[in-house]
Amino acid sequence: MGFRAGRGIADITGETAECGLLGYGKADQQSAGLHTRQRARAFAFEEGGARLLLVVCELPLMSDAVVREVLRRLPEGYGAANVMLTATHTHCGPGGYFHHRLYNSNTGGFRAATFGAITDGITEAALAAIADLEPARLRLAQGELKNASVNRSRRAFDRNPAADRAHFPDAVDPATTLLTVERGGRLHAAVNWFATHNTSMTNRNRLVSADNKGYAALHWERTVAGVDHLAATAPELVAAFAQTNAGDMSPNLGLAPGLGPTGDQFENTRVIGLRQYEAAAALIGAGQPAVGERPSEGEQASEGDRASEGRRPSEGEQGSKGDRAPGGSPDPGDEWVSGAREISGGLDFRATHLHLSAVEVRPEFTGDQRPHRTSPPVGGAAAFAGARVDGPGFKGFRPGANPLWDAVSRRLVYPFAPALRDAQYPKALALPAGPVNRVVPVIPESAPVQLLRIGPLFLIGIPAEVTIVAGLRLRRTVAAIVGAALSDVLVAGYSNGYLHYVTTPEEYDAQEYEGGSTLFGRWELPALCQTVAGLATAMRDGTPVDPGSPEPAVPVRARRPRTAADAPHPGRRFGDVLDFSLIGRRATVAFVAAHPSNDLRRGGSYLFVERLCGDGSWARTADDGDWSTVFRWARSGGATSVATVTWNIPEGAEPGTYRISYHGDSPPKGPFTGVSEPFEVR
């Protein structure tokens, strides 16, 4: 019996105005518009009566509240064991969708609108994938990508044993893995795994963005395959770019926020995303049309077009339909995957919930041949310093030594708490999340740990950010038990929840940012290795596992609703054009606006770029999900606001007459549309 596979995609973009962006934790990083929409891409698999569902979500983090709600809505046969919800870890997505306080700290509390957009979209994508199940051929390919990541925590990495460091001679994990789904001789779906942080956009950015992994997916689907994300029909191709053990991998090759490969955060997003796409597409092999054949139209921006906050290069990849590469799929019968191997061997899954605050770790997993125990979660002083390569944290904290916090911990805490010392030393204790949890739910303590098998491919689902050597140890643990090639075993980080970082004990001792954020102490990784060993053994032997006890549901604390009313400017109506300019290949229109959260336009768009057709009708050529457009929103005093739409006209845009429209909603009056005057593109 062969595989059946299906795919689905849906919009999960939350509040694009006045909502804290999750990832960097900055109070002043509030959404002020839209760079690229966030999407959930779902992949359903069946074989021999077994089912799996993988959903790759362009979210900063995966919330246990989101997981719980989505699982509740899925049909019978899909549950915590065989469904993996994983995040790409953009740091510029709207927050407020957790039920634990720490992650809503810059959003004013729980945001029902964003939570709803995320859960509705993930469910929609998942159900579409399940409904799309058809006989399919699955193929797996592996390669390397060496110019899209850098180790941002080299001092910690270098503490690992020589044998581990030798596995990563450049201190990065260059492995890129591609799983493809072919139906009827055509490429229908692709999932790529590559380890790099989704932090090309900096903590100065205020536009909602799916960042570099989002760009990679957008490029493959929109530019190469010609997918219209607003069409009612199923897309020709769904392509996801997922995370693996990216805990210490940064895309900022210059080792500073927004630096590398260029000095512009938008261009870096594009370049790092394009490199991930090209590496993935190259794995498909000869015979596949339009794979990495050229930069997309107009992508090379001039230096003068780049700027800092609120602007981006004047590139745009949305060309006319005729300019796009053919749908990313060859004619039936083409051997388009000559660089990949067809896979078989069925599906399997195991999962458990691990209470990480109290794990007895056996000697064979600790490295020093002695038993140890994890402790309740504590944030270290180094955690508050932030990952300085990607985004500095809070003043007064730094990676490594923090003299004041070190002194308090070593003189006043550790001498009187030997069990805590064994688990957490040498961490400078700063946030006792465990004790605080007893009063206010700050962070979860139960870790959903999962092992999925798709033929020869094994995915270790970990709800945390795993460094490359920590990932190596998890992978080796599973590979040795199930008899798999190490390259066929991947850590799927950021999956099914979020519990911060996982470092090796050696890296932990350095107390860099990642070690300070390894909340459950020095033995957290050994505890996880012990757990995945149990899952792998059960999978090998065909035996069940104890599912454990999931985290109890945390009641939602409602956020105080926004009270400011919308009003048009004096003497104006909603949608009126306030200003228009066409400078070079950039068209900008300012409209009298209403608050974007009145209607998130999930599955739709705040804007359209349209071209006049010969019959007098207008044809849409771009929307707010395209790289070539930017939607910005700002208050202009009192209840009035302005929406500014920018279209960076692609070099490949078909000459003709164009217009730009803005779509909003102002209760109780309802939806409205503003339209610019026509303008010429030559």
Distance of CA 661 to the CA centre of its chain: 30
Q: What is the rounded CA–CA span in Å between residue 266 and residue 201?
A: 7
Distance of CA 527 to the CA centre of its chain: 26
Element (H, E) at 44: strand 39-47
Write phi, then psi, for 203 (nearest 5 degrees): -75, 5
357 is catalytic: no
**HSE-up (13 A, CA, CB side) for residue 383:** 24
The three-state (H, E, C) secondary structure of 462-530, written as one string? CCCEECHHHHHHHHHHHHHHHCCCHHHEEEECCECCCCCEECCHHHHHHCCHHHHCCCCCCCHHHHHHH
Tell me how crowded residue 17 is: count the other CB atoms within 10 A of its CB.
Answer: 26
Q: What is the rounded CA–CA span in Å between residue 234 and residue 679?
A: 33
Q: What is the rounded CA–CA span in Å between residue 613 and residue 624?
A: 21
Tell me how crowded residue 109 is: count the other CB atoms within 10 A of its CB.
Answer: 14
Work out the angle between the directed axes of helices 468-482 and 524-541 (0-180°, nearest 10).
Answer: 20
Distance of CA 241 to the CA centre of its chain: 8
**Which among 455, 451, 460, 489 is positioned nearest to 139, based on CA atoms?**
455
CA quadruple 279, 280, 285, 288: dihedral positive or negative? negative
From 250, 296, 314, 446, the catalytic residue: 250
- Enumerate helices (H) and strands (E) in the chain, giving the number of each: 15, 36
**HSE-up (13 A, CA, CB side) for residue 67:** 29
Total count of residues recorded for the chain: 682
Torsion angle of C-alpha atoms 249, 253, 259, 264, degrees rounded to 10: -100
Tell me how crowded residue 285 is: count the other CB atoms within 10 A of its CB.
Answer: 16
**Which among 372, 381, 355 is positioned nearest to 418, based on CA atoms?**
372
Q: Judge whether 261 and 268 are in contact, CB under 8 Å.
A: yes
Q: Judge whether 2 and 125 are in contact, CB under 8 Å.
A: no
Tell me how crowded residue 170 is: count the other CB atoms within 10 A of its CB.
Answer: 10
Q: What is the rounded CA–CA span in Å between residue 130 and residue 128?
A: 5
Q: Judge whether 446 and 67 are in contact, CB under 8 Å.
A: no
Distance of CA 466 to the CA centre of its chain: 15
Q: Judge whether 220 and 293 are in contact, CB under 8 Å.
A: no
Catalytic residue numbers?
A: 250
